[in-house]
A and B are shown apart, each in its own frame.
Chain A
Amino acid sequence: MTVIDPTAGDLAASSVSVPDAEVEHAVDTGEVASWLQVTPLMILLTLFFGLPMLVVLAVSFFDFDRTDIIPAFIFDNYIDLFRSEVTLRLYLSSLKFAAIVWAVTLILGFNIAYFLVFHVRSLLWQIGLFLVCTVPFLTSNIIRMISWIPFLGRNGIFNQALERAGVISHPLEFLLFSDFAVVVAYVHLFTLFMVVPIFNSMARIDKSLLEAARDAGAGRFRVVAEIVLPLSKTGIALGTIFVVTLVMGDSFVVRTMSGGQSASVVSALQNEVAALQYPPAAASAIIMVIIVTLMVAGILRLVDVRKELAG
């Protein structure tokens, strides 16, 4: 969640800057009102995000022994982090998962949202089907993930079904405790985070635009490529931010579904915390925050979410 906060801060900051730009027109009270509006969020973010991050930043320069963290100003934690080949491997692995999961959830999310918005005509059905999409969220994340294990296992339901159907003679081993299993669980858990914002963007598209395009002779594919896709950009960007930050920040899914065979940046960080090695864990967290923030900033540069949301 922390990774989303900078964006929120950014949004908050920018809404302040709007009156600044039009300062000639704005009366003082308007500016004061904006500041007042943004104050609660600023206080919350400062207290619960800014200050803790500062503490983490400070600790990342500390020294440590078996049980204590020792105030100091050393770069060893960062040097160790950058020197270790594990760091690169973990980031590559996390980025690989993020890329695959992003692509799959985007395709699924876009199509599901497209279906809901443009194919389902009745509002009642639209709402009904949308709620169906959220049904899995009525159970806990953990249960949804763990239920894949008996399904995908060596003697699991899927393998047994395939064997009975005569498709395979030996159980497929790659189904569980593998990268495949991790991706399946991620997609299952995170697709809705893609569906909702894309649905939201698509729902605002003026239907007459599509009719006009069709009247002008555009085929279905061209309508999607030139009208729906560009106008859903905001939703895609928001969904991307959700999915990418969730995957990058995960440790539990990757650990459980890979049977501990894959690690993520965060699961390595957890091992350090469990061994009371806070300063290297803090350094790792700081680097993680910087990288994910850069990723989010990159997405926001490509798509002006603010403008679209305001419009």
Chain B
Amino acid sequence: MTRKISGNHRPLNRRRLLKGAAAGGALATTEAILGFPTVWAQNTKDVTLVHAGGSYAAIKEIGEQATKDLGFKIVMQAITDDVQLNRSLTQPNTIDINNIDSTKLPYLAGKGVLQPVPVAKYKYWSETVPLFTKGAYPNGQMASTQGLSPIEAMFYTAKDGKKLADKPTEFLTMIPTIYNADTLGIRPDLVGGRDKVTSWKDLLDPKYKGKAALVDYAPVGVMDAAMAIEARGDFKYRDKGNMTKEEIDKTIKILIDLKKGGHFRSFWSTFDQSVNLMASGEVVIQSMWSPAVTAVRSRGIDCYFVPLKEGYRGWFVGLAPMAHLSGLKLDCAYEYMNWFNSGWQGGFIAKQGYYSAVPTTAKKFLTPEEWDYWYDGKPAAVDIKDPYGNLMEKKGAMRDGGAIWDRMGHIACWNTVMDEDRYLTRRWNEFVSS
């Protein structure tokens, strides 16, 4: 916690303040931040930071809480992936804090739009899960490196931020915030039970003909398909996260044949579509996100985020300060990013089914029952509510897939951008139009 802050040019009082807050140790939560002298608060009260990210991460309530706790203004902007990339590259000054998922880094790293984060600036490094600090699970085992794994995405080789490193350095690409393990969602009532689907290959099983769906987003959709094709035993990929042209061709051919045979009921491109497909029974097995599964369930319809024997598809998201930030605004940006992992946000998004990069702080903002349910995979001792207080799961329910490392500890492949992404986009277009 009392990591020495070195090599910076911030005013002395600021440095001492940060250290003081950090020295608060376990108490370095919102209260500690609120305890800052008013001089500091007066300096920053006119500061406004624009935080832009996907709707699942850039949540209005989080911005409001941060504004309240920090004394300067956070403006949350929920934008789509392509808009985010576009703005980051062509109008980088319109964003201050870029809430990017790891797959944006191959586009943005080295373009001079993001600012590397010196490890020393990030207060919770020592408490951050080893997945991000070392690329390993808590039991010491190294995580899969298929796709863009945390160890390949978290670090720059040097402070110029030109190149991604594949081992820990002193310069972070972003402060890791949330992550999760994705898998297939099913309708247990319509497939004949929770135990009927055990492998990714079931996605392509002829018995679900006309009742399966894929996400219509090439990088993720093709990977879900690859998991299924590999599980079915068609062939083995060298790296599902970085396919060769031949592997893409073979995959797309299988998909086109399936599509022509009427295997897929639909392809979804928004969260709501995936929820509606499942809730209406149009689809009984599909690629899905965790909150979509809970959204189906909250309508009183059984939906199961199946733990599959081949493992999960993992993803992670973080905060990167934009290159144009400097001086007081940059100080505030660090203050804010540290606040982000200080617990309140982690507690909030835990109730959406996402994990915090710093579970120890999130724990303080969850009741013991909530912690047991969301992180430890224990049966809910009380009714489980979502962040807005709506009932999500009844007492006694258990999280699909179990505890955090039962899920995050079995990542087969990480979301990624392939070297052949241009070719993949073209072939995916052919698939969708076939």
CB distance from B277 to the nearest CB of A (A): 8
B179 within 8 A of A: no
Q: Is the CB of A260 within 8 A of B280?
A: no
Q: Is the CB of A177 within 8 A of B82?
A: no
- A-facing residues in B203-236 (Cβ within 8 Å): 210, 213, 216, 218
* Residues of chain A within 8 A of B82, CB atoms compared: 273-276
Other-chain residue from A256, A272, A276, A277 in contact with B86 (beta carbon distance below 8 A): A276
The closest CB in chain B to the CB of A278 belongs to B86
Q: Is the CB of B85 within 8 A of A260?
A: no
A89 within 8 A of B: yes
Q: Mark A103-137, 1 if CB is under 8 A from B, else 0.
A: 00000000000000000000000000000000000
Q: Is the CB of B269 within 8 A of A177?
A: no
* Residues of chain A within 8 A of B426, CB atoms compared: 84, 86
The closest CB in chain B to the CB of A149 belongs to B276
* Residues of chain A within 8 A of B89, CB atoms compared: 67, 276
Q: Is the CB of A277 within 8 A of B269?
A: no
A188 within 8 A of B: no
Report Cα–Cα, A271/B273, bound state, in Å.
18
Q: Using A150-B280, A153-B282, A261-B267 as known contacts, say yes or no to A89 and B421 having CB atoms under 8 A apart.
A: no
Q: Is the CB of B433 within 8 A of A260?
A: no
CB distance from A77 to the nearest CB of B (A): 12
CB distance from B433 to the nearest CB of A (A): 4
CB distance from B13 to the nearest CB of A (A): 40
Q: Is the CB of B280 within 8 A of A154?
A: yes
* Residues of chain B within 8 A of A274, CB atoms compared: 81-82
Report Cα–Cα, A267/B422, bound state, in Å.
16
Q: Mark B246-284, 1 if CB is under 8 A from A, else 0.
A: 000000000000010000111111000100110011100
* Residues of chain B within 8 A of A154, CB atoms compared: 280-282
Q: Mark B407-434, 1 if CB is under 8 A from A, else 0.
A: 0000000000100011001101110111
Q: Is the CB of B280 within 8 A of A275?
A: no
For the side of the interface on B, what is the size category?
Answer: 35 or more
Q: Is the CB of B433 within 8 A of A86?
A: yes
* Residues of chain A within 8 A of B245, CB atoms compared: none
CB distance from B245 to the nearest CB of A (A): 15
Q: Is the CB of A67 within 8 A of B265?
A: no
Q: Mark A250-264, 1 if CB is under 8 A from B, else 0.
A: 000001100111110
* Residues of chain A within 8 A of B264, CB atoms compared: 261
CB distance from B161 to the nearest CB of A (A): 15
Q: Is the CB of B421 within 8 A of A275?
A: yes
A90 within 8 A of B: yes
Report Cα–Cα, A261/B429, bound state, in Å.
11
* Residues of chain A within 8 A of B108, CB atoms compared: 67
- A-facing residues in B85-113 (Cβ within 8 Å): 85-86, 89, 106-108, 111
Q: Is the CB of B428 within 8 A of A271?
A: yes
A288 within 8 A of B: no
Prevailing SS type, chain B contact patch: helix
CB distance from A217 to the nearest CB of B (A): 54
Count chain B CB atoms within 10 A of each CB in A93, A267, A271 and give the residue with the most: A271
CB distance from A138 to the nearest CB of B (A): 23
Q: Is the CB of A260 within 8 A of B216?
A: yes
CB distance from B427 to the nearest CB of A (A): 9
* Residues of chain B within 8 A of A176, CB atoms compared: 282
CB distance from B75 to the nearest CB of A (A): 25
A155 within 8 A of B: yes
CB distance from B274 to the nearest CB of A (A): 11
A66 within 8 A of B: yes
The closest CB in chain A to the CB of B85 belongs to A276
Q: Is the CB of A155 within 8 A of B280?
A: yes
Count chain B CB atoms within 10 A of each CB in A85, A176, A274 and give the residue with the most: A274
Q: Using A67-B111, A259-B267, A276-B107 as known contacts, say yes or no to A177 and B432 having CB atoms under 8 A apart.
A: no
A5 within 8 A of B: no
Q: Is the CB of A275 within 8 A of B425?
A: yes
* Residues of chain B within 8 A of A273, CB atoms compared: 82
* Residues of chain A within 8 A of B282, CB atoms compared: 153-154, 176-177, 259
CB distance from A66 to the nearest CB of B (A): 6
* Residues of chain B within 8 A of A20, CB atoms compared: none
A84-B430, A153-B280, A275-B82 are known; give 8 further A-B pairs, CB within 8 A: A86-B430, A177-B265, A255-B269, A256-B273, A259-B266, A260-B267, A263-B432, A274-B82
**13 residue pairs A–B, Cβ–Cβ below 8 Å:** A66-B422, A67-B108, A84-B426, A85-B430, A149-B276, A153-B282, A154-B281, A154-B282, A256-B273, A261-B266, A268-B432, A276-B82, A276-B86
